[in-house]
Amino acid sequence: MSMYSRLAALGVAVLLWLPVPGHADSKEGMSKGLHSQQEGGLHQYVSHSFQSLIHHAKDLGLSDEQVTKLKTLMGDYEKAKIRGEADIKLAEVDVQTLAHDDKADMAAIENAIRKSEAVHANLRIEGIKALRAAKAVLTPEQQQKWRASRGSMHGEGKGKGDYKEPGQQPPKK
């Protein structure tokens, strides 16, 4: 099993371990977590979580101070994500350059791959840190309310298939 496969498996385990608001005990919630990872992963989930918290600030009873903290955390995460994605691209250029160079030392190729995987892991860790920092801004009551109302806030409380991602047209009946 490659290092990337092991890291991907670890990421899936972490996503399944993290409490996904509104889906903590459901198989459907776990499959949505896996589906989300395949289509944008943890980074998309983190960004969406921040946007959801801020959008539903009034429903959750967030203070202006909490909203400001969440917006700051979201901005900091977005900057870290941009830097991390750039670092990933640069590391992958190094890997590809070495891999296609017949004269490159195998040890150098292995080191470049390890560096690339470490950059991937660091970016994922930043996402988990951001989620935990956001959770720490909320009171236990707000965390509970967010978990309890998350499905209905996104239209998941309707019938199966009625859920739509932001920007998508509702399903035809």
- And the tokens for 118? 């470490």
Domain membership of residue 80 (yes or no) is yes
Asked if residue 61 belongs to a domain, the reply is: yes
Over residues 22-35, the pLDDT tens digits come to 333 333 343 333 33
Q: At what angle do helices 3-17 and 106-137 cross, to 10 degrees?
A: 10
pLDDT per residue as tens digits for the range 19-74: 433 333 333 343 333 333 433 588 899 999 999 999 999 999 999 999 999 999 99
In a domain, 157, yes or no: no
Query: Is 138 part of a structural domain of the chain?
Result: yes
The answer as to whether 85 is a domain residue is: yes
Task: Look at the chain and report how many structural domains it folds into.
Answer: 1
Q: Is the pTM of this model over 0.75?
A: no
Instruction: Enter the tokens of residue 107.
Output: 């040890």
Residue 143 domain-assigned?
yes
Q: What is the pLDDT of residue 60?
A: 93
Higher pLDDT, 156 or 153: 153
The answer to the question of residue 93 being in a domain is: yes
Instruction: Answer yes or no: is 159 within a domain.
Output: no
Which whole number is the average pLDDT over 163-167? 38
Identify the CATH number of the domain in which residue 145 sits: 1.20.120
